[in-house]
Amino acid sequence: MTPDEIVAAINATTGCAPAMKLFTDCAFGASGDVQLGEAVEKKCEADFLSGLKATQKKAYSAQLGRCDRKYRNESGTMYRSFTAFCRAEVSQRYSQKALKAGPKAR
């Protein structure tokens, strides 16, 4: 599958967990994973982003920023993949927390 086809498949999943599984299964281990990771982030954010208060959004952004900074001084495309996975995993954790808490907690 091409990266665009994988992104389309991620977008067609029924939620964050299946999107993350597809990302894991189809990862390139290189910079191509950035595009896939962004699709997973967007899929997972649908579960929680609109329900976050300003302070929670700031904390979420800070965690994504930590992922961006973690490998910024490393060279090689595999580090772009590591960053994409880190960001997707942060989004997945927020999604899991929101789904576990239910709609009242959001």
Q: Please give the backbone phi and psi of residue 56, each rounded to the nearest 5 degrees, phi first.
A: -70, -40
pLDDT at 106: 42
pLDDT value at position 72?
94
Q: Could you give the number of structural domains in the chain? A: 1
- 3-state class (DSSP) for residue 106: coil
> What's the whole-number mean pLDDT along residues 29-49?
97
Confidence class for position 103, pLDDT limits 50, 70, 90: low
Question: Could you tell me the residue range of the domain that residue 24 belongs to?
Answer: 3-105
pTM: 0.92
Distance CA 28, CA 43 (A): 19
Q: Can you tell me the mean pLDDT for 51-73?
A: 97
pLDDT (0 to 100) of residue 48: 96
Query: For residue range 9-18, what is the model confidence (pLDDT) as tens digits?
Result: 999 999 999 9
